[in-house]
Structure 1
Amino acid sequence: MSFSTALSIAASGMRSQASRITHVSENIANADTPGYRRKLVSFEPDRAPDATPGSVTTGRVRLDQTPLPQVYDPSHPLADEAGHYSGSNVDMVVEIADARQAQRSYEANLRVFDQIRQMSSSLSDLLRR
């Protein structure tokens, strides 16, 4: 595997995890929004014609189809005649765990990227001698 291939794979991992972090932060920001459905991001192999084999990309963003909780608050403007409205299906514990996992995966790809860059630089220095 060449340095450029390894760099490309690590960069695709960082891009994908950054996208995941974006969607997790949107979920957290909308946790109290009535009727909001949690966004889910999946990863898949990058099938673009010029893609490096082994690189990943994010798939389509899907909405979590878990039933929305019914919140009882007769004073809420969206409440029906029984005093209920649809809440959000965002679970903060799950979102925080997803954010930590995405952050750690991003950092791991960053370390790989940095290690490859250092190896490339060291090889260049050796070849100059």
Structure 2
Amino acid sequence: MSDFSNALDVSSSGLRAQANRLRHLSENISNADTPGYRRKLVSFQTAFSLGDAPAKVQTGKVHLDQTALEKVYDPAHPLADDTGQYDGSNVNLLIELADAKEAQRSYEANLKMFEQTRKMSSGLMDLLRR
């Protein structure tokens, strides 16, 4: 049974990590038009495990993308400087949507692994009862 619980632990850590990634991606998308907003980057790292337990994944520190902010020309904007420009955000919606699709697919793969492990465990219990 330990192998089943290890598999469930690994897939659930992947589910949590991808859910966290999706949360930050949705924040980036919702703030794409916010002046001065820097996109958030999520990294993954191995979670510490005890003994022979398989390694789990977790999200690391969230970093802000340091690429240059887009310059927006709008002299009527309250944040505009003498040249009529202000700093927009550095969020590229195309990249964010592609990353969100990747995170969604990874989440679905982890969910499928979780469901398959649960079914196998349930099938084993049914066999042992006979």
Distance in 2 separating the partners of 1:83 and 1:49: 58
Structure 1 spans left out of the alignment, 5+ residues: none
Query: Corresponding residue for 2:65?
Result: 64
Structural mapping, 1:27-106, within 5 Å:
27-47=28-48, 52-106=53-107
Give the aligned residue type for 2:12.
A
Report how far residue 120 of structure 1 moved: 0.1
Please say which of residues 1-10 and 23-32 is displaced more in the overlay.
Answer: 1-10
Give ranges in structure 2 of 5+ residues lacking alignment: none
- Count residues with an aligned counterpart: 128
AA partner of residue 41 (structure 1): V
Residue by residue over 1:39-97, the C-alpha shift from the partner in whole angstroms, topping out at 9 and shown as x without a partner, is 000100002669x5320000000000010011111000000011010000000000000
The aligned amino acid for 2:123 is S
Q: 1:15 to 1:46 in 2, by over 3 A?
A: same
Deviations 1:80-123 (A, max 9, x none): 01101000000000000000000000000000000000000000
Specify the alignment match of 1:118 in structure 2. 119
Secondary structure, counterpart of 1:61 in structure 2: strand
- Which structure shows the higher strand fraction? 2
Which runs of structure 1 show a deviation greater than 4 angstroms over 4 or more consecutive aligned residues?
none
Q: Distance in 1 between matches of 2:94 and 2:11?
A: 28
Counterparts of 1:72 and 1:2 in 2: how far apart (Å)?
59
**Partner Cα separation in structure 1 for residue 68 and residue 127 of structure 2:** 61
